[in-house]
Structure 1
Amino acid sequence: MAGPVAADPLTIRPIERADRPHWERLWRGYIEFYKSTLPDEMYDLAFDRLLSGDTGEFQGFLALDGVKPVGLVHYLFHRHGWKKEQVCYLQDLYADPDVRGKGIGAALINAVYDAADKAGAPTVYWLTQEDNAQARKLYDQIGVLTDFIKYQRPA
């Protein structure tokens, strides 16, 4: 797992058990941003998965501005049918609205890039909504837009 990445006063570090209330506040903000809801038991399950240490399970980082948690990222490694190495899926990225545009998202993505490099996963990918203009400004600087369109099974 990647170690802390610091750029005074911003610190990026792995999520720890004691972070639960801060993590939940941030993740609820993320879920609400996407106009969605989850049952409370999903927060328990997701947090336990993040800290399980199980191979193939989600991992995460928190961004702290000084001592205040202001952002999070979740990611996981998985096999890919076209590559020998695993790839890294960055699933959730969120920064508090009052710190957006201050480098929090870039620092969190770079922490995932570092974790992927350490794990030997050359590919890191993620999805966002087409109209997420503020995030896409960052993504256009730190990533490459692909021509893939997502489909999923109907509910």
Structure 2
Amino acid sequence: MSTSNVRPLESEDKERWSELYAAYARFYNSTQNGEMREQVWTWLMDDANELKGLVALDKKGNVVGIAHYRPFLRPLAASKGAFLDDLFVDPSHRGTGAAEALIGEIKAVAEKNGWSIVRWVTADNNYRARAVYDRLARKTDWLTYDIQL
């Protein structure tokens, strides 16, 4: 089964989006509750907010994957880029092209807006996703650091 249809997230997608986003949080052992998902949903539904959402659909039109992205400033390059914050495909639809289609749509948005790069991070042990990412992008040498506040 091939998945290649991608569209912007719509208000009617809320229940399925919430299921997939909760599964994404569980995958990364991230503490997330309904209130937190509601906050993210509010951001996604606010046209004034920079965070945008996409969904991948199967051939029957069912939502099988989600992606969130936003522009970010790149001072050293004097440009803007697209940052892919979250990407998750229902495990039963992995290998269908959904992840590639979502990333491809973000790339198209970036090109349309004149942005210079699409960037994301993933866990080192996320081997299945990394196999896809290695086909679509170049792995960088940069390390990520966090200060928890």
TM-score by length of 1: 0.90
Verify the 8 A CA contact 2:81 2:117 in the aligned structure 1. Answer: yes
Distance in 1 (CA, whole Å) between partners of 2:3 and 2:40 is: 28
Which residue number corresponds to residue 57 of structure 2?
64
Which residue number corresponds to residue 108 of structure 1?
102
Which residue number corresponds to residue 5 of structure 1?
none
Unmatched tracts of structure 2, length 5 or more: none
Question: 4+ runs of 1 displaced by more than 6 Å?
Answer: none
Which residue number corresponds to residue 3 of structure 1?
none
1:10 CA drift (Å): 3.7
Measured on the aligned residues, the alpha-carbon RMSD in Å equals: 1.4
Which residue number corresponds to residue 96 of structure 1?
90
Unmatched tracts of structure 1, length 5 or more: 1-7
Verify the 8 A CA contact 2:66 2:89 in the aligned structure 1. Answer: yes
Aligned partner (choices 2, 9, 12) of residue 15 of structure 1: 9
1:43 CA drift (Å): 1.0
Structure with greater proportional helix content: 2
2:68 is equivalent to residue 74 of structure 1: yes
Deviations 1:19-53 (A, max 9, x none): 11011111111111111221321111101101211
Distance in 2 (CA, whole Å) between partners of 1:151 and 1:11 is: 35
2:136 is equivalent to residue 151 of structure 1: no
Amino acid corresponding to residue 76 of structure 2 in structure 1: W
SS of the residue 1:42 aligns to = helix
Q: Report the identity percentage.
A: 33
TM-score by length of 2: 0.93
Deviations 1:89-133 (A, max 9, x none): 001000000111111100100010001111111200000000100
SS of the residue 1:50 aligns to = helix
| Greater RCO structure (CA 8 Å; 6+ sep) | 2
2:56 is equivalent to residue 50 of structure 1: no
